[in-house]
Amino acid sequence: MANILVTGGAGYIGSHACKALAAAGHIPVTFDNLVTGWRDAVKFGPFVQGDLLNRAEIDAAFEQYQPVAVMHFAALSQVGDSMKQPGTYWRNNVEGSLNLIEATVAAGCKHFVFSSTCATYGDQDNVVLDENSAQHPINAYGASKRAIEDILRDFEAAYGLQSVIFRYFNVAGADPEGEVGEFHQPETHLIPLMLDAIDGKRDALTIFGTDYDTPDGTCIRDYVHVCDLVDAHVLGLNWLREDKGSRVFNLGTGTGFSVREVVEHSREVTNRAVPMTEGDRRPGDCTKLVSGSVRAETELGWRPTRSTLQQMITDAWRWHQTGHYSA
């Protein structure tokens, strides 16, 4: 049993990762400032309320828990929002990560798993997005994540810090056992917003842009189930602990769905109409983001089992109807 420091462990993906880590015999120590996370979501190990912008709080967590590895999920992660307040994104994501990476090295911890994003690739027409693709982000969120990848490379060269960098495509779904799920305040993501609209909890879903160069005019994304995604993190941790060295992995399924296709699947899964309107494009949105890599499967042995759109929406719908956090 070893402690793993999980930043953002009170958030959507981090909380699912804590569950997977505990199931694999680790002790996830959540470090979270609760700005976008939920205390109720911390169920599988100790909790430290702390801020990555405060180096002393990070050092204290290392001192107390002596983690053998770090999983770094904590970040501001909304593409649209990052275009409105880029300074906040750069400061929180890059400065916070730099503090964490420096603290990791100072504590003598050598293994770091980082949540990056396909948003680092940007809009690349007709290019298969694999781990060697050029990274030209078109929004501040993606740019901040690319910068953190660069920091990790420099810290490996200087101090030998080994990292597994996961570039997520669009994460969806929820724990099928309903212990944790997706809950953002405010919510901006397509699937939970749509389920709210279906349920009458908010107004109609607005489709952001119907004039993209795609078959039905709406953006295309590669959706991956959060439980499959966090399983890859446990494999990534094993990879580092087996001294296999730093590596980048895309986490997507290789299948893209347009916004209209996601709406249609949601209608089928819930058997209810989806109230929706058509609106302008959202600044910072890429036309199409679909993974073209099987590296995680071939090298890590990752086997996604729940990442069909139907399963993701089914699990999200169950959580939507039964799960919630209060504080």
Q: Which residues bind ligand UFG (CB under 6 A)?
A: 77-79, 117-119, 169-170, 188-190, 193, 205-208, 219, 221, 259, 282, 285, 289
Using the minimum distance from each CB to ligand UFG, give the nearer residue, 227 or 259.
259
Using the minimum distance from each CB to ligand UFG, give the nearer residue, 153 or 282.
282
Using the minimum distance from each CB to ligand UFG, give the nearer residue, 169 or 249.
169
DSSP string, 266-306: HHHHHTS---EEEEPPPTT--SEE-B---HIIIII----SS
User: Which of 141, 168, 212, 223 is an active site residue?
Assistant: 141
Q: How far is the CB of 121 from ligand UFG (least distance, A)?
A: 9
Using the minimum distance from each CB to ligand UFG, give the nearer residue, 281 or 324.
281
Q: How far is the CB of 78 from ligand UFG (least distance, A)?
A: 6
Question: Which residue number is nearest to ligand UFG in terms of Cβ?
Answer: 219
Q: Is 141 labeled as catalytic in the residue annotation?
A: yes
Q: How far is the CB of 222 from ligand UFG (least distance, A)?
A: 8
Using the minimum distance from each CB to ligand UFG, give the nearer residue, 20 or 207.
207
CB 139 within 8 A of CB 147: no
Q: How far is the CB of 22 from ligand UFG (least distance, A)?
A: 24
Using the minimum distance from each CB to ligand UFG, give the nearer residue, 107 or 269.
269
DSSP string, 215-272: TTSS-EE-EEEHHHHHHHHHHHHHHHHTT---EEEEE--S--EEHHHHHHHHHHHHTS
Could you tell me which of 76, 45, 74 has the C-alpha nearest to residue 57?
74
Q: Quote the tokens at residue 33.
A: 């400032």
Q: How far is the CB of 304 from ligand UFG (least distance, A)?
A: 16
- Measured between alpha carbons, how far is 262 from 113 in angstroms, rounded to an integer? 30
> For the CA atoms of the chain, what is the radius of gyration?
19
Q: How far is the CB of 105 from ligand UFG (least distance, A)?
A: 26
The letter for the amino acid at 19 is K
Chain centroid to CA 322? 23
- Measured between alpha carbons, how far is 229 from 252 in angstroms, rounded to an integer? 8
List CB contacts of 246: < 8 A, sequence separation 6 or more: 152, 153, 156, 162, 163, 164, 165
CB 35 within 8 A of CB 14: no
Catalytic residues: 141
